[in-house]
Structure 1
Amino acid sequence: MVDLGAITLEWGTMLTQLIVFLILLLAVRKLAMGPIVAMMEKRRQHIANEISSAERNRQEAEALLAEQRRVLDEARQETKTILDRAAKQANDEAARIIAEAQETATRLKNEASAEITREVEKAKAELRDQMAGLSVLLASKIIEKELDEAAQKETVDKFLAQVGDRL
């Protein structure tokens, strides 16, 4: 026993406590530290797996994002192509409709001109028929009167003047 004033040390008790502490330390190391270290290692591996899985998922997400962007660009290009084609078709259709309208207008104008020409010819034919009838009537009047040559010429000139005014 060592006396240090207020503190007294007993070597036997100290040695016993040291042995018990070492036994306890070995028991804790053997029984508790092994499972704790194994659990910590398992946890470390799980975290490492989760990190690698997250990294793999991030790379897949980036690849999918790039693919979606590519598909979206293709869709935009296809949309532009379709719109351009539709605009061209609309312009072609408008040009075709305008050409048809012009063709129809020209055809109707030509038909109207032909109809007018036919009507003018028909009117002239009727006028000739009327003149022939009037000529016959004049001739019969001239014959009835038995005019002399000067009076006959005057009557014919008068008749022609009247007929000329009607034409």
Structure 2
Amino acid sequence: MGCGNSKISSENVIVLGVIQIIIGIYHVLMWYFLLLLYMGQIKGVFGTYEPLTYKMGTALWGFAFIISGAFTVKSAKRPSRYLLECALSLNILCMIVTIIAASLTIVELANFHSVSYKNYGQAKLGREVSRILLISYPLEFAMALTYAIYSCSHLGRRQEESLETVSDAIDGKF
């Protein structure tokens, strides 16, 4: 059972795209919340808490999810080879981004250095936000993988149809 046997309706693809957009907006808003949270820290004895994901703006990578979801919805409404290929490549990019972001979040949660007493509450809240974001990465990965399988199937069917048309045209001439 390969890619060519997969079928999904265009309405379901639109739902996948909308869910990707919602997840992307959620990640951007969480990054903004972390920005406000960590910017409000008071310089203490042990310094401030600036985790790896915050420094790299990992939740800001949600813009990739938003753009990918927009292309997914657009390709479901008006399927063309160009839009399907763009949406497929963006969804593959999203899968790579989610793997990297989940890895960085796991590294962040595994390493916790002490912070000053004044900033401990903010650091603890920021770690909880990172845990919540860690839960959403598999969901985004599943959405991108589902669309990648769908678009692979759709592109494969269109390729077979175009090959049959060419062969029929050649047989008709001879």
TM-score (norm 2): 0.32
Ranked by relative contact order (alpha carbons within 8 Å, sequence separation 6 or more), the top structure is 2
Give 1 or 2 for the bigger CA radius of gyration.
1
